[in-house]
Structure 1
Amino acid sequence: MTLPEYPPLAKASEGEPFYVPCGNEVAMFERCHARGLAVMLKGPTGCGKTRFVEHMAWKLDRPLITVACHDDLSASDLIGRFLIRHDGTVWQDGPLTRAVREGAICYLDEVVEARQDTVVVLHALTDHRRLLPIDKTGELLMAAPGFQLVISYNPGYQRMLKDLKPSTRQRFVAMDLDFPGEDAEAKIVERESGVDAPTSRALVTLARRLRALRDRGLAEVPSTRLLIAAGALCVDGIPVREACLAAIVSPLSDDEALVGAMRDLVDGTFI
C-alpha cells in the first residue's frame, strides 16, 4: 500500500473569525480541547455554531477540517478508500482520517443527517482510546496530539425526524448554543453585513417578533445568518422591506397564512 503525499493542512484562519461569546462556551471548549474530549454543539440553524468552531480553531491554533453531513455520507467518505491509478493502487485518506493523523479539529456539521452505521465509526475516537480503526488497511490509527472531534445538530428540527443514539450522545460534552442576546445580535449583524446600527437593531427586533411564531407553525425561525443577508442587501441599495421579504420571510415558509403574518410584522417594524 502506498500513502499519497499530502500538502500540510492550513491553519483555520490567518485572521480571527469574528465571534461574540454568549456565555462561557469559549472557556468550556478550551478545557475540552486540553483534555481531548469530544464536543457536541446543540442549537438552532444559523445561531453561530460553525463560526464558533472556526473561532476556536483559530484561538487554539489548530487546523480545521469541516464535513457537511448528508444522507449518503458513508464511513468510507470519512475514513478513506483505495484509488486505482495508472501506476497502481493507493490509499486516499478521508477527512476524518487526515484530521486524526495530523492533529486537526474535525467538525461534522449536522451529524444526524449521516447514516447510523457511519456515526458508529466515531465511537473509538470519543473515549479514552482515541483510536480510528481502518478496516480496509488493517491500520489502528492513534489520534495525534491536538486532534478533537466536534459535531453539531439542531435538536428542535431533528426531534421529529432523526436523533442521535444515546450510546453516541453520551460520548460527547454537550454545549447548548442559542441566538445571541439582542444587543450582541445587533452588533453581529452590523459588523457582518455593514448595515448601519439603527437598521441592524430593527432587523433584530423583527427577528424576535418572527421567532415568536414558532408556536404558530413556523418550523424554522429566522437565524442570525438571514438577518446578515437582509442587512447586506440593504447596504447594496435594496429597500429594507424588500430585503426582509427576500432574505428573511420567503426562505422561512411558503404557507400563505404564515407569510402574511410575517409580512405584517415586517410592515409593523419598518413603519
Structure 2
Amino acid sequence: MDTLIKKSSTNTENTMTSLTGDIPFYKPLGKEEEVFKHAYGCRIPVLLKGPTGTGKTRFVGYVAHKLNRPLITISCHEETSSTDLIGRFIIKGAETIWMDGPLTKAVKIGAILYLDEIAEARPDVIVAIHSLTDHRKELYLDKLGETIKAHKDFMLVASFNPGYQKGFKELKPSTRQRFVALSFNYPSPKDEAEILVNETQLEMSVAKKLVGIANRIRNLTELGLTETVSTRLLVDAAKLIHSGLPKRLAVRVAVVEPLTDDLEITESLADLCDLMI
C-alpha cells in the first residue's frame, strides 16, 4: 500500500493559553504596556530583558489578554530545536502525517508566540525565526518545501536574562537588533508590596517585611549568588504564610533555600531573615 501524506495540526494544549476568565494581574511599572501595543500595531517583535522572576512572563499573558489574542508559550532549553518549533512528519498507522509545531501554528492562526529564555535555544531556532523578524514576515518549512506568510495578527515575543551565565549564552547583535527591547527589573518596595497583597491577600504589614528581606539580600552582592530574590519567590512565601505556615519557615523554604546550596550562606541568610520577619 502506498504511504499517504497528510497534514495535521499538532496538539499544543500544553503551550496555548486560553483567554477565558479574568485578566491576569499585572501592575505596570513604566511605559511597557504602551510600547508593546505600539510594537504590536507595527508588527515589530519585542524582546523582554531582565532577571528571573521580574514579571516578564506575566506581562506577556497580561497584554495577550488585553489584545484578545491567543498566546503560545515555548520554554526554551538547550535541546530546543527548530524542528520542535516548526513541525515534523510522524507515522500514524499506515500514514505519514505532518504535525505543525507551535511556531507554525502561531504563524497560521495569528497568535502571540512567546519564546521564554530564547538564549537557551539551539542556534538553528534563531535561524528559523529570522525571516519572521524582518520585512518578510514569513516562515519557511524546509521539510515541505513551502513558505508560509505570517497571519496579520502574528506577533513574536522573546525573553532574555542578560545576567544569567553572562559571556556563555548571549544573543548575537544580529538577533538582538531585530527586536524592540523592554527592560524589566525588580519593582520599587511600595509596588512590590502591593503586588504581594494583590497576588496572595497577605496583610500589607507582612508584605512590607518580605519586600524588606528581598531588598536586603539583593544588596548582598558579596555573596556571589547566581540569582537573587525574585518577586516570584516572594509571592510563594506570601502564599505559604497566608495559608498558615509559620513566617520564618515559609521564608526559609520559599526564599532562602532556592537561592543557594551552600550551607554556610544558607544559615547566614536564614538568620538574617529570622531577625527581619
Q: Is the 8 A contact 1:17 1:51 kept in 2?
A: yes
Amino acid in structure 2 at the alignment position of 1:241: R
1:7, CA displacement in angstroms?
8.6
Query: Per-residue displacement from partner, 1:39-69 (whole Å, max 9, x unpaired)?
Result: 1000000000000000000011100000000
Matched, 1:191 2:195: no
Is the CA contact 1:218–1:258 (under 8 Å) kept in the aligned structure 2? no
**What are the within-5 Å matches in structure 2 for residues 150-189 of structure 1?**
150-189=157-196
Name 1:3's counterpart in structure 2.
7
- Superposed CA deviations along residues 83-119 of structure 1, whole A, max 9, x for unmatched, are 1111411110000000000000000001111111221
Amino acid at match of 2:32: E
1:225 matched residue in structure 2: 232
1:193-248 deviations in Å (ceiling 9; x for gaps): 22111111110111010111234311111111110111111112111011100100
Q: Give SS of 1:62's match.
A: coil
- Count of aligned pairs: 270
Structure 1 residues 112 and 6, CA, compared in 2 at 3 Å: closer, same or farther?
closer
Report the equivalent of 2:88. Answer: 81
Q: AA paired with 1:4?
A: S
TM-score normalised by length of structure 1? 0.95
Assess, with a 3 A threshold, how the Cα gap between structure 1 residues 5 and 248 changes in structure 2: closer, same or farther: closer
- Which structure 2 residue ranges, 5 or more long, are not aligned? none
Query: In percent, how many aligned pairs have the same letter?
Result: 47
In structure 2, the partner of 1:96 is 103
Deviates more, 1:31-40 or 1:210-219: 210-219
Moved more, 140-149 or 153-162: 153-162
Work out the CA distance in 1 between the residues paired with 2:59 and 2:137: 24
Instruction: Give the deviation of 1:263 after TM superposition.
Output: 1.7
Cα distance between partner residues in 2 of 1:215 and 1:169: 31
Structure 1 unaligned segments of length 5 or more: list them: none
Please say if residues 209 and 265 of structure 1, whose CA atoms lie closer than 8 Å, have aligned partners that are also in contact: no
Give the distance between the partners of 1:250 and 1:213, measured in 2 at CA.
Answer: 16
Counterpart contact for 2:54–2:184, Cα < 8 Å = yes
- State which of 94, 109, 119 in structure 2 corresponds to 1:112: 119
Aligned partners of 2:17 and 2:274: how far apart in 1?
Answer: 46
Decide whether the 8 Å contact of 1:214 with 1:220 is kept in 2: no
Corresponding residue number in structure 1 for 2:148? 141
Matched, 1:125 2:138: no
Kindly report structure 1 stretches of 4+ aligned residues shifted beyond 6 Å.
Answer: 6-10
RMSD: 1.6
Letter in 2 for 1:167: S
Whole-angstrom CA distance in 2 between matches of 1:164 and 1:74: 16
| One-letter code aligned to 1:159 | K
Q: Does 1:216 align with 2:223?
A: yes
**Greater share of helix:** 1
Rounded Cα–Cα distance in structure 1 between residues aligned with 2:120 and 2:9: 31
Indicate if the aligned counterparts of 2:115 and 2:159 stay in contact, CA closer than 8 A. Answer: yes
